[in-house]
Structure 1
């Protein structure tokens, strides 16, 4: 019977491998919840990787009730501190599913997992809110950003994109100016977003001037996206 016992026992590493290859999220969940086929299993020590895998599979499948159950279990773990990327993934899943309040709630809970919030999770939240067109909520998060992180070029690009999508070019330029004041260098995405919005508003001369300015003043080379906007 000893050989059988050995076969039935699954190591955390093997468990992660089995989880990774399981395409069906429902079966993956079963595997996560019942790693051993033993009738009286010892408590199984899930690895951080297996949490990451199951959360991603459930999130992609929009099985949010099940995903939240696993996230709750992760909160009780004392053997490791989850990485910020796990929470970024969760906020992204909520954003795609148009569940902005759940994305905000996840962001608020990150410290209770003993995990530090950086500009990465702030940007992920802002981007999820952008997908949901929650411009007011984005503004609220940005106003209080200093308690979490220093905004970077990605933060400002998301905000400029939000202004352009809500057709508020004055605000977009205000964000651009604030970015410069804070010493954050605009990149090709910054200029691409502004040029695209100007072209959409048929302000082609302004768009061409901005392209010239970006090359001469900031030494930023236009990419395909910038040219595509100008050709349209």
Structure 2
């Protein structure tokens, strides 16, 4: 909870810009720290205390804790400014926290303004900050900005390493800039960067996503020539590609080569091979492989059960899938939301939404929290079977869990409630939408109003509620 004294001091966010913040920060750069320290006299005889750890010596910064709780970037800037007015001297930790908040909200203009301030005032920044910003630029498709920031890191008294290099390389690959990624890879030595396994894994992943096995193998061979040791991820990328292409035998050969070279396979490795076998209809062989992996010293995980569960549900073998769930619990492997969602999705698609709803209750009892997809599937399932009042109950639970359904789900639910004469319930849904600033498009409103007009009383009450 943000300190009430801070809350009262918050100015109107719409009038506060990052430029104002920079000005206020500059004016107060010489101010005394907001925190004061009180010293006490040591008694004449005292038992020496244990030497405190580094974590105990490090004093928490309230502003950072408050910033992490705030969702609105304007409110974050406002709070940052309020601390500054009270004499708090900002430094790298607080600046970086605000930068992350701004980047996450895609307020990149403010990010660039604040970065310029840090550069001009020679505030030393860590590489982790730039890695995070590069990744946010990449997610926003601002690839050129990410490249520019990578090359400009030296202006912030920050040296580039293979970690930031890999971050920009990954951004280029994810945004389809393969040519630029290859150029970066070729010119790495001029930047004084020595590639590692992650660098090559990124490029191998790129070629495999393009479906170019030969180019991926060339990168792998170059990796070996440079005496950079492949990791389990390096092998998993290739094994996964082969198995998805139907070449499970090729995947097994690569798996054996991996083991021969002393690399220990993990649960994902076995999961990829199991998935390949299931795609070929070899479920029993896949399940046998899951038990064999334990003899090889690899612990079975949820991902392995997930592969088997997916295959069984695709074939409609719900009894076997339920048995698998029981088996997981017996082996003390706690099913996650993905496993439960698979089962709930199956029940709802088969018109057995009541069973899907029971599964929703069971997962909560077991301590597994539903996500938005879980609730949506059940609400949609009840709408499909015409049980709109039951769907409304699940919607209530969904809203209380701070999730919100798709607009198509809401439209279907409202139409169903109106058809059942449940105008108050339909209006309740509309009110909840209004609270969250959600609205239908014109076509959806047209359908709702036309449908409600099939009953004069429903139409009149609905229109009255909407207008008044």
Structure 1 position 169 matched with structure 2 position 213: yes
Matched, 1:137 2:185: no
Q: Deviations over 1:197-224 (max 9, x none)?
A: 11222222211100000001x2112222
Superposition map of 1:2-13 within 5 A: 11=34, 13=61
Partner of 1:227: 270
Aligned residue number for residue 146 of structure 2: 103
Partners of 2:109 and 2:184 lie apart in 1 by 26
User: Which is worse superposed, 14-23 or 174-183?
Assistant: 14-23
TM-score norm. by structure 2 comes to 0.44
Which of 3, 24, 28 is the aligned partner of 2:72? 24
Please list every run of 5 or more consecutive structure 1 residues that lacks an aligned counterpart in the other structure. Answer: 1-7
- Equivalence for 1:184: 228
Structure 2 distance, partners of 1:168, 1:188, is 20
1:39-58 deviation per Cα after TM superposition (whole angstroms, max 9, x unaligned) = xxx8x742100111011111
C-alpha deviation, 1:32, in angstroms: 2.7
The aligned residue for residue 48 of structure 1 is 92
- Paired residues of 2:125 and 2:156 also in contact (CA < 8 A): yes
| RMSD, matched Cα | 2.2
**More deviation, 95-104/17-26:** 17-26
User: What is the rounded CA distance, in whole Å, between the counterparts of 2:142 and 2:84 in structure 1?
Assistant: 35
Q: Which residues in structure 2 correspond to 1:197-216 (within 5 Å)?
A: 197-216=241-260
Q: Secondary structure at the match of 2:195?
A: coil
Larger Rg belongs to: 2
Structure-2 separation of matches of 1:16 and 1:73? 19
**Structure 1 residue ranges, 4+ long, deviating more than 6 angstroms after superposition:** none
| Structure with the larger RCO, 1 or 2 (CA within 8 Å, 6+ apart) | 1
Q: 1:76 to 1:33 in 2, by over 3 A?
A: farther
Measure the CA separation in 1 of the matches of 2:164 and 2:239. Answer: 27
Worse-superposed segment, 22-31 or 179-188: 22-31
The equivalent position to 1:35 in structure 2, one of 76, 80, 83, is 83
Aligned-pair CA distance for 1:109: 0.8
2:193 maps to 1:149: yes
Aligned length: 220
- Cα deviation 1:77-118 (Å, max 9, x = unaligned): 22x420011100000001111221111111111111121100
| Partner residue in 2 for 1:118 | 161
Deviation at 1:59, TM superposition (A): 1.1
Where structure 2 has 5 or more consecutive residues not aligned to the other structure, the ranges are 1-8, 10-31, 36-60, 276-468
Q: Is contact 1:99-1:132 (8 Å) kept?
A: no
Query: Is this contact kept in 2: 1:119–1:148, CA < 8 A?
Result: no
- Retained in 1: the 8 A contact 2:223–2:229? yes
Matched position secondary structure for 1:35: helix
